């Protein structure tokens, strides 16, 4: 699949639920209203739609949420997609998780064909972790990371950089990742959804973070890529890597290769735009596989050149009203 700007679209991010067992301050409101079950695609519907994307050349699928591992029987979807891994099919099946249920499922994920997982973790300080997540216990996540590594999964930490919250934690996190054989990826906060907080106060440009880290660490830019938007640097002192995802300070859209499918069957061609295609109606209206393929191709033909996120004190509303947990993290 090729979009109007000549970019090959080979990466599908699939949200399987809008629900989560945490309430991270940059992602959700404390009192969330979740979608009714009837609005959510069944695992069979998600599998069928993923199959159509794979037939069109999608090589990588990442399962996201909400927190994907809170969805009942989600391992059946992993097993079905894992069976499509191989020559002429899917090249990689991955997962983004908050880690709270990783200890329970790590072995089964590895058996299904998952080889890498991203764990969202914004601090190693137990009290700060509970404050950021509003309810979590970091010991549960650390146990999940250990279980994932014991199951043979490569782990990467995803950390949202928040001014005044965790900006003093990155040196310790980089050192910890080095000791445990883990890569770290820092992410700028994005203006999605009403989280009852001031994003202008949360926003921390990663250009500033990188400059601070270079006071202690030797960072050398590398061509390493995982298929996503992160730009990676080798960390000489640890032998690991650190990535930076910068939707605010550097628009990375020129190399965008991905689209996002929500748990309701809505396909967003760009995280930062509202245009979407409704596949739930097609699936439940009896569309044949050829109809799904045609609808996917029509959607890719509308993929925009890029997003236009802005964090501005003069605006008292997010750039987009939908929460990240709805779109898929």
**Residue 140 preceded by cis peptide, ω within 30:** no
How many Å apart are CA 85 and CA 90, to the nearest integer? Answer: 4
How many Å apart are CA 243 and CA 256, to the nearest integer? Answer: 16
- Check the annotation: does 25 bind a ligand: no
- Check the annotation: does 82 bind a ligand: no
How many Å apart are CA 132 and CA 205, to the nearest integer? Answer: 19
- Check the annotation: does 185 bind a ligand: no
- Check the annotation: does 303 bind a ligand: no
Tell me if 186 sits within 8 A of 163, measured CB to CB: no
Q: Which of 87, 93, 91 minimizes the C-alpha distance to 111?
A: 93
- Check the annotation: does 260 bind a ligand: yes
Q: What is the CA radius of gyration of the chain?
A: 19
- Check the annotation: does 20 bind a ligand: yes
Name the DSSP letter for residue 230: -
Q: Report the sign of the C-alpha dihedral through residues 297, 299, 302, 308, in that order.
A: negative
- Check the annotation: does 263 bind a ligand: no
- Check the annotation: does 39 bind a ligand: no
Tell me if 63 sits within 8 A of 14, measured CB to CB: yes
How many Å apart are CA 122 and CA 169, to the nearest integer? Answer: 8
- Check the annotation: does 24 bind a ligand: yes
- Check the annotation: does 27 bind a ligand: yes
Residue for token digits 């599998």?
47
- Check the annotation: does 101 bind a ligand: no
- Check the annotation: does 120 bind a ligand: yes
Residues annotated in a binding site for S-adenosyl-L-methionine: 26, 66, 120, 190
Residues annotated in a binding site: 13, 20, 24, 26-27, 62, 66, 96, 120, 156, 190, 253, 256, 258-260, 270
Residues annotated in a binding site for [4Fe-4S] cluster: 20, 24, 27, 253, 256, 270
Residues annotated in a binding site for GTP: 13, 62, 96, 156, 258-260
């Amino acid at each position: 699949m090729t979009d109007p700007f000549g970019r090959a679209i080979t990466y599908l991010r699939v949200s399987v639920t809008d629900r989560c067992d945490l309430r991270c301050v940059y992602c959700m409101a404390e009192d969330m209203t979740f979608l009714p079950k009837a609005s959510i695609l069944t695992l069979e519907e998600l599998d069928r739609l993923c199959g159509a994307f794979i037939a069109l050349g999608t090589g990588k699928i990442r399962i996201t949420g909400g927190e994907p591992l809170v969805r009942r029987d989600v391992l059946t979807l992993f097993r079905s997609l894992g069976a499509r891994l191989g020559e002429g099919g899917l090249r990689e099946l991955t997962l983004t998780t908050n880690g709270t249920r990783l200890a329970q499922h790590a072995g089964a994920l590895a058996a299904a064909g998952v080889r890498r997982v991203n764990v969202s973790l914004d601090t190693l300080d137990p009290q700060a972790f509970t404050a950021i997540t509003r309810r979590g216990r970091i010991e549960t996540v650390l146990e999940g990371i250990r279980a994932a590594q014991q199951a043979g999964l490569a782990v990467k930490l995803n950390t949202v950089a928040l001014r005044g919250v965790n900006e003093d934690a990155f040196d310790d996190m980089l050192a910890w990742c080095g000791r445990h054989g883990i890569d770290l990826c820092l992410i700028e906060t994005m203006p999605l959804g009403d989280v009852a907080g001031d994003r202008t106060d949360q926003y921390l440009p990663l250009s500033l973070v990188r400059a601070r880290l270079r006071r202690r660490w030797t960072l050398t830019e590398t061509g390493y890529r995982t298929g996503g938007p992160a730009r990676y640097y080798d960390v000489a002192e640890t032998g690991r890597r650190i990535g930076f995802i910068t939707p605010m300070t550097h628009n990375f859209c020129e190399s965008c290769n991905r689209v996002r499918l929500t748990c309701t069957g809505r396909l967003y061609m760009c995280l930062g735009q509202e245009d979407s295609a409704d596949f739930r109606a097609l699936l439940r209206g009896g569309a044949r596989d050829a109809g799904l393929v045609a609808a996917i191709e029509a959607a890719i033909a509308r993929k925009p050149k890029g997003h236009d996120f802005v964090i501005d004190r003069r605006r008292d509303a997010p750039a987009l009203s939908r929460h990240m947990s709805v779109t898929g993290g």
